[in-house]
């Protein structure tokens, strides 16, 4: 029992040693790497940061770096710290389990890495450290990575103003979008009136995002080809299966590391930010002046064809 507890609560290097395979693999490690970041599923964890501690151990394939003293033949320690920083910068996450899995998968993309142990702990959420520990191996992660890396498509993001939603031409526009060979994601705006106004900026952002989603559901109710989606996983699945989607923005906006540079109440600018986030093929704005569309180009972060105003 004492040995089991030592392995469970000690550094992941103990776990790696206890589960070592024959022949023994060399290991590199990262100990007590503390980063201050916003993470967590609870409301009190949003809009604030907390200290998170990372401990990683990676088993590596045999190499001759000892004889050659060649740094290019080893797995660099920078790979571990960059994997942590890269996944923290990619998206705001709710779960430590998700973060640990993504860090391990990123490291195991390196040809030298065979098996990865990741322990992540929150240091400020209780009287002690609260965390998770996972282990991932190259053979499992490699297969899943290969199956999900292909067939990546770039969608067209289409912002539809409130005026365009009320236009008799709307069914025709949707017909055109539905027959495109590439997927389209529709974005809508806040309702024109009737929204509550509050002093808290965080609360107002939530209210505005939920109002946009109500408009999205109202559009979907008018045309059964329009499917409301709110997560990247749903978006990827819908695009691969040729669905015409309507973006429900709450989760992606609230979970983003790089927040929109404008308020979510500015519908066209929010659509432009979203197009940049998903690396869209283009942004089309229906029902807004051409001058406004031209002003959105800087928000799309390299999206081609920043806008095509429609009547």
Instruction: Say if residue 311's pLDDT is above 70.
Output: no
CB 181 within 8 A of CB 304: no
Please report the domains of the chain, with CATH numbers, ordered by start residue.
Answer: 11-146 (3.30.1130.10), 156-299 (3.40.1160.10)
Confidence of residue 299 (pLDDT cuts 50, 70, 90): very low
Instruction: Say if residue 67's pLDDT is above 60.
Output: no
Residue 133's nearest CA partner among 288, 264, 10 is 10
Instruction: Say if residue 96's pLDDT is above 70.
Output: yes
Condensed to tens digits (0 to 9), the pLDDT of residues 9-36 reads 667 777 677 666 667 788 899 999 999 9
User: Phi and psi at residue 44, in whole multiples of 5°?
Assistant: -70, -10
Q: At what angle do helices 96-108 and 77-90 cross, to 10 degrees?
A: 130
Tokens of 231: 């997560």
Instruction: Say if residue 291's pLDDT is above 50.
Output: no
pLDDT over 90 for what percent of the chain? Answer: 42
């Amino acid at each position: 029992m004492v040995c089991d507890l030592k392995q469970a609560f000690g550094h992941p290097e103990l776990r790696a040693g206890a589960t070592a395979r024959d022949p023994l693999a060399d290991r590199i490690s990262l100990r007590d790497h503390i980063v201050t970041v916003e993470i967590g599923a609870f409301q009190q964890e949003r809009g604030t940061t907390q200290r998170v501690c990372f401990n990683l151990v990676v088993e590596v394939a045999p190499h001759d770096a000892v004889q050659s003293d060649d740094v290019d033949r080893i797995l660099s320690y920078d790979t571990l710290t960059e994997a942590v920083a890269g996944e923290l910068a990619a998206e705001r996450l709710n779960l430590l389990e998700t973060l640990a899995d993504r860090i391990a998968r990123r490291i195991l993309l390196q040809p030298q890495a065979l098996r990865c142990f990741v322990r992540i702990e929150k240091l400020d959420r209780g009287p002690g450290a609260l965390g998770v520990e996972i282990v991932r191996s190259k053979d499992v992660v490699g297969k899943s990575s290969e199956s999900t890396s292909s067939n990546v498509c770039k969608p067209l993001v289409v912002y539809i103003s409130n005026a365009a939603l009320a236009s008799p031409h709307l069914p025709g526009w949707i017909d055109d979008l539905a027959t495109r060979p590439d997927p389209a994601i529709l974005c809508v705006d806040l309702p024109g009136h009737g929204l509550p106004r509050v002093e808290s900026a965080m609360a107002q952002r939530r209210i505005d995002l939920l109002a946009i989603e109500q408009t999205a559901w109202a559009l979907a109710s008018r045309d059964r080809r329009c499917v409301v989606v709110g997560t990247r996983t749903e978006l990827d699945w819908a695009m691969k299966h040729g669905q015409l989607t309507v973006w429900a923005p709450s989760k992606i906006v609230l979970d983003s590391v790089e927040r929109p540079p404008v308020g979510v109440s500015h519908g066209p600018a929010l659509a432009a930010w979203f197009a940049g986030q998903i690396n869209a093929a283009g942004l089309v704005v229906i029902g807004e002046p051409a001058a406004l569309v031209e002003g959105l180009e800087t928000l799309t972060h390299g999206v081609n064809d920043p806008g095509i105003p429609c009547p």
